[in-house]
Amino acid sequence: MHACLADLASELGQNAWESGASRIFLRVREAGERVEIECRDNGCGMDAATAGRVFDPRFSDARKHPDRRFGLGLPFVKQTAEATGGDARLETRPGNGCAVIAVFGRRHVDLPPLGDLPAAFAGLMAFEGEYELTIERERDGRSYRVRRSELRAALGELRSAPALSMAKDWLASHEEAAQGKGNHHGSNDT
């Protein structure tokens, strides 16, 4: 399963993009005793019967892989949330997008490390197609926010590896500030 919270954020962002969304909102927030990962999209959404099964690892809509019947992404999110005393829930309607809100116990011994959020965010900026992705990151009152369109305007494009590397560096500089590490470069991997 996923080794860090940044992987769970990647998972939710990738799901949102696959839903055909033109707008995606992703927030990773650490405050008080909680860590929250929230992802909202305006993609295809799903009906109640499907929504009721998405946290079941033996369920997949089989759209991508007709002969495979596992869908582990959301079950991983829920399992991790519950293991830390939190929970994950889904709000959706057909044609009206999805919201997944996962809450984790911040002090819980089973909370995975945060991981490399700048790499996760940069990766989510790099999918193909026209979509707006808004990232919000908050840690104990320190925060940053960026939209895909802003990074693309600054970099000219978000397809070449050099542009993506710079997007990652930009995000890392803000992540360091949010974490109160003002004086050195370095990975956010823990």
Please report how close the Cβ of residue 33 comes to another protein at its closest, in angstroms: 27
Q: How far apart are CA 69 and CA 66, in angstroms?
A: 8
Nearer to another protein among residue 32 and residue 156 (C-beta): 156
Nearer to another protein among residue 2 and residue 27 (C-beta): 2
Nearer to another protein among residue 24 and residue 164 (C-beta): 164
Nearer to another protein among residue 109 and residue 183 (C-beta): 183
Q: How far apart are CA 189 and CA 186, in angstroms?
A: 9
Please report how close the Cβ of residue 187 comes to another protein at its closest, in angstroms: 9
Q: Which residues of this protein are in contact with another protein, per CB under 8 A?
A: 1-3, 6-7, 10-11, 14, 18, 20, 63-68, 71-73, 76, 115-116, 119-120, 122-123, 126-129, 144, 146, 150-151, 153-156, 159-170, 173-174, 176-177, 182-185
105 in Cβ contact with 34 (< 8 Å): yes
Please report how close the Cβ of residue 37 comes to another protein at its closest, in angstroms: 14
Q: How far apart are CA 133 and CA 173, in angstroms?
A: 19
List Cα–Cα distances, 137 to 52, 124, 130, 143, 151, in angstroms.
Answer: 29, 14, 23, 5, 16
Please report how close the Cβ of residue 110 comes to another protein at its closest, in angstroms: 17
Nearer to another protein among residue 40 and residue 168 (C-beta): 168
Please report how close the Cβ of residue 74 comes to another protein at its closest, in angstroms: 9
Nearer to another protein among residue 85 and residue 127 (C-beta): 127
Neighbour count for residue 107 (Cβ, 10 Å): 11
List Cα–Cα distances, 149 to 17, 91, 92, 122, in angstroms.
Answer: 15, 26, 26, 13
Neighbour count for residue 6 (Cβ, 10 Å): 25
Please report how close the Cβ of residue 149 comes to another protein at its closest, in angstroms: 11
Q: State the residue for tokens 């109160």.
A: 180
